[in-house]
A and B are shown apart, each in its own frame.
Chain A
């Protein structure tokens, strides 16, 4: 069937246009679909929810701008959750391509939305090279890795850091990670220092973390924009006064819904056209 052959060879810019429209229309006119929460995300939320005011967590911004749409909403949701609970947040970054600046931006969002003071409620210790070397060293002494924070203030002068020497003084570490950094938090920091670890990963890496969660090496995993929208949902259910704040991942899931259906259509339609062209070829022989 020649029309099936022609459809299979359609200019790919038409496919691009359909994807573009599939993404644009829900942005212009949001649908407002409800998000379902999965157990691995709930596990992270529950762990943070069980903490007391004054406890401290480590939040590692191990991602860059290209992962922002997936991991920024996670960061915002976790920071808001910690702010409501009075939990102190140590922000660091071990990812060279923009982690420290993502941390700056998210801390600024928190300050704008809910107040909170640098050095008292949260601190951005900045980026450090070395990967595993830095992770190991933080197990002994934070000051050996971060003598100052990202603004150059000596760590001894930061009120939040009083009484926090190493992982033993923290309740958990959450890594918002692209690439292998999330795995290193699990197979090095959790394995060798015993601190509870949770990972917020990009969607591409999320399937792998299920193996770690099932082996109890990680408390839970938030996978991609879906995971971010689930954590946003849990925070807003628990703290309805946060309802007016942006929920970029939840809004993004509307778009995901439409474009996913577009791509599933492409897969099925492409295979139907392929079968038809194969049949034509066999009949022609």
Chain B
């Protein structure tokens, strides 16, 4: 079966991948070119993404296509444009009005999210039974309760950590260290996953077909 050579896109992707990997040896011009192109494409991507996915269907089409039913969209349009007045020194103060509404809204949403969606359910999840369960489960529940309380005590900095507070906070640190160790282990796995993805592409999608077509499969 004839080997299918990688397409133009795969060649471009492979070149850019190797250009970035070259940084591991040392900083060089090819890497800097790849880095600069990446920065430019990222910002350009934001522009296209916002236009195609949000501004066009949610603002421009309803506002200019059916103004009588969607005239109210003038307000978010104006508020959005006002944000850019921060780059005009004499009018920068106007952008603060729009920013105040934008930040204020998310502050309000965040408050209910934190109280209703995190503090209460997490506190409820910590109220675990210490009787009426198998002994092993009771021990595990105790680990959770002690862990949560001691970690919270550690983060309480309004009083100096002395005496019983110091011992409790110390235990909290030990729980945190176990958790950070677990996080480190997962972080290592996460970073390696990224490397696996790139190497798999370079080897299986680019290098292998090229080598096979040159030397024969």
B57 touches A28 (CB 8 A): no
B183 (CB) vs chain A CBs: closest residue: A207
A149 (CB) vs chain B CBs: closest residue: B57
Task: Check if B122 is an interface residue, CB within 8 A of chain A.
Answer: yes
Q: Tell whether A187 pairs with B117 under 8 Å between CB atoms, given A133-B109, A216-B125, A248-B200.
A: yes
Q: Tell whether A203 pairs with B113 under 8 Å between CB atoms, given A27-B203, A252-B196.
A: no
Distance in angstroms from A158 CB to nearest chain B CB is: 13
A258 (CB) vs chain B CBs: closest residue: B192
Which of A127, A186, A260, A263 makes the CB contact (< 8 A) with B117?
A: A186
A58 to B109, CA, bound (A): 22
A214 touches B109 (CB 8 A): no
B122 touches A211 (CB 8 A): yes
Which of B105, B116, B183, B192 makes the CB contact (< 8 A) with A192?
A: B116
Task: Check if A128 is an interface residue, CB within 8 A of chain B.
Answer: yes
Distance in angstroms from B217 CB to nearest chain A CB is: 15
A203 touches B190 (CB 8 A): yes
B196 touches A263 (CB 8 A): no
B192 touches A255 (CB 8 A): yes
Stretch at the interface among B29-37, B46-54, B87-95: B46-54
Binary interface encoding of chain B residues 119-136 relative to chain A, with 1 for a CB under 8 A from any of its CBs, else 0: 001101110000000000
Binary interface encoding of chain B residues 13-36 relative to chain A, with 1 for a CB under 8 A from any of its CBs, else 0: 000000000001100000000000
A256 to B62, CA, bound (A): 50
Q: Tell whether A214 pairs with B144 under 8 Å between CB atoms, given A203-B187, A224-B189, A260-B189.
A: yes
Which of A70, A127, A132, A206 makes the CB contact (< 8 A) with B113?
A: A132
A214 to B61, CA, bound (A): 45
Distance in angstroms from B65 CB to nearest chain A CB is: 11
Residues on A with C-beta less than 8 A from B124 are 215
A256 to B193, CA, bound (A): 7
B57 touches A127 (CB 8 A): no
Residues on A with C-beta less than 8 A from B49 are 96, 100, 127
B109 (CB) vs chain A CBs: closest residue: A132
A128 touches B53 (CB 8 A): yes
A118 to B141, CA, bound (A): 47
Residues on B with C-beta less than 8 A from A204 are 183, 186-187, 190
Chain B binding surface SS class: helix
The B-contacting residues of A in range 247-283, CB under 8 angstroms, are 248, 251-252, 255-256, 259-260, 263
Which of B58, B179, B200 makes the CB contact (< 8 A) with A207?
A: B179
Residues on A with C-beta less than 8 A from B113 are 132, 184, 187-188, 191
B195 touches A23 (CB 8 A): yes
Task: Check if A16 is an interface residue, CB within 8 A of chain B.
Answer: yes
Which of B53, B105, B144, B189 makes the CB contact (< 8 A) with A126?
A: B53
B interface residues, how many (CB within 8 angstroms):
49
Task: Check if A136 is an interface residue, CB within 8 A of chain B.
Answer: yes
A24 to B200, CA, bound (A): 8
Binary interface encoding of chain B residues 100-116 relative to chain A, with 1 for a CB under 8 A from any of its CBs, else 0: 00000110011011101
Q: Tell whether A206 pairs with B61 under 8 Å between CB atoms, given A192-B116, A256-B192, A256-B193.
A: no
B189 touches A226 (CB 8 A): yes
B189 (CB) vs chain A CBs: closest residue: A203
Which of B57, B125, B183, B199 makes the CB contact (< 8 A) with A147?
A: B57
Task: Check if B204 is an interface residue, CB within 8 A of chain A.
Answer: yes
A66 to B195, CA, bound (A): 10
Distance in angstroms from B170 CB to nearest chain A CB is: 22
B193 touches A69 (CB 8 A): yes
A100 to B50, CA, bound (A): 11
Distance in angstroms from B121 CB to nearest chain A CB is: 5
Distance in angstroms from B201 CB to nearest chain A CB is: 9
Interface centre among B109, B110, B196, by most A CB within 10 Å? B196
A130 to B106, CA, bound (A): 10
A133 touches B53 (CB 8 A): no
A–B Cβ pairs within 8 angstroms, 26 of them: A13-B24, A24-B203, A27-B200, A69-B196, A70-B194, A98-B45, A129-B53, A132-B110, A146-B57, A150-B53, A187-B121, A188-B113, A190-B117, A203-B190, A207-B182, A211-B122, A211-B125, A217-B117, A226-B189, A255-B192, A256-B189, A256-B193, A256-B196, A259-B192, A259-B195, A263-B188
* Shortest Cβ-Cβ A-B pairs, 8 listed: A215-B125, A187-B117, A69-B197, A203-B190, A191-B117, A127-B53, A203-B186, A225-B193
